Amino acid sequence: MLSRGAALWLCLVLLLTEAAGEDARQTWWDRAAVPMAKKVGKGLKERVRAVTDLSKKYWDYFSCQVWSEHCDGKKDASKSLGWISPLLSQQYMDILSSWYCKFKDCCDRDDCRIINNITGLEIDLSTRLHGQHLVQEVVLKSIRGFLSMPQPEKPLVLSFNGWSGTGKNFVTRMLADQLYRDGLESECVQVFISMLHFPHLKYVDVYKEKLMEQVSDTVQRCGQALFVFDEAEKLPPNLLETLKPILDHYDTIKEVDYRRAIFIFLSNFGGNTINEVVLSWLKAGRSREEITMEDLEPHIQEILKSTDSNFGHNRLVKENLIDFFVPFLPLEYHHVKLCARDAFMSRDLEYTEEMLDKVAKMMMYVPKEEKLFSAQGCKSISQRINFFLP
- What whole-number distance in Å separates Cα of residue 357 and Cα of residue 354? 5
- What whole-number distance in Å separates Cα of residue 70 and Cα of residue 193? 35
- Measured in degrees and rounded to the nearest 5, phi and psi for residue 253 equal -125, 120
- What whole-number distance in Å separates Cα of residue 21 and Cα of residue 12? 14
Q: Kindly tell me which of 123 and 206 has the beta carbon lying closer to ligand NAG.
A: 123
Q: Kindly tell me which of 123 and 149 has the beta carbon lying closer to ligand NAG.
A: 123
Q: Which residues contact 266 (CB under 8 A, 6 or more apart)?
A: 160, 168, 169, 172, 228, 229, 230, 231, 232
Amino acid identity for residue 303 in this structure? I
Q: Kindly tell me which of 95 and 123 has the beta carbon lying closer to ligand NAG.
A: 123
Q: Kindly tell me which of 121 and 204 has the beta carbon lying closer to ligand NAG.
A: 121
Q: Kindly tell me which of 171 and 360 has the beta carbon lying closer to ligand NAG.
A: 171
Q: Kindly tell me which of 117 and 238 has the beta carbon lying closer to ligand NAG.
A: 117
309 binds ligand NAG (CB under 6 A): no
Least gap, CB of 226 to ligand NAG (angstroms)? 17
Least gap, CB of 342 to ligand NAG (angstroms)? 15
DSSP 321: -
With left for phi above 0 and alpha for psi between -120 and 50, is residue 107 left, alpha or beta?
beta
Q: Kindly tell me which of 180 and 344 has the beta carbon lying closer to ligand NAG.
A: 180
Q: Kindly tell me which of 148 and 352 has the beta carbon lying closer to ligand NAG.
A: 148
User: Cα 86 to the chain's mean position, in Å?
Assistant: 44
Least gap, CB of 126 to ligand NAG (angstroms)? 11
114-133 residues near ligand NAG, rule: CB under 6 A = 115, 117, 119-120, 123
Q: Kindly tell me which of 96 and 189 has the beta carbon lying closer to ligand NAG.
A: 189
Least gap, CB of 177 to ligand NAG (angstroms)? 9
- What whole-number distance in Å separates Cα of residue 232 and Cα of residue 193? 8
- What whole-number distance in Å separates Cα of residue 286 and Cα of residue 61? 66
Least gap, CB of 381 to ligand NAG (angstroms)? 22
| Number of residues this chain uses to bind ligand NAG (CB under 6 A) | 5
Q: Kindly tell me which of 55 and 178 has the beta carbon lying closer to ligand NAG.
A: 178
Least gap, CB of 160 to ligand NAG (angstroms)? 22
Least gap, CB of 125 to ligand NAG (angstroms)? 11
Instruction: Beginning with the edge strand found earlier in the chain, give each strand of the sheet holding 324-327 in spatial order.
Output: 189-193, 226-230, 262-267, 156-161, 324-327
81-120 residues near ligand NAG, rule: CB under 6 A = 115, 117, 119-120
Least gap, CB of 174 to ligand NAG (angstroms)? 10
Least gap, CB of 127 to ligand NAG (angstroms)? 10
Q: Which helix (H) or strand (E) holds 266?
A: strand 262-267
Q: How many CB atoms lie within 10 A of CB 122?
A: 16
- What whole-number distance in Å separates Cα of residue 327 and Cα of residue 320? 17
Instruction: Return the residue nearest ligand NAG (CB atom).
Output: 120
Three-state SS letters, 192-216: EEHHHHCCCHHHHHHHHHHHHHHHH
Euclidean distance between the first and the last CA atom of the chain, given in angstroms as a whole number: 64
- What whole-number distance in Å separates Cα of residue 21 and Cα of residue 228? 25
Least gap, CB of 55 to ligand NAG (angstroms)? 37
User: Which residues sit at the interface with ligand NAG, rule CB under 6 A?
Assistant: 115, 117, 119-120, 123
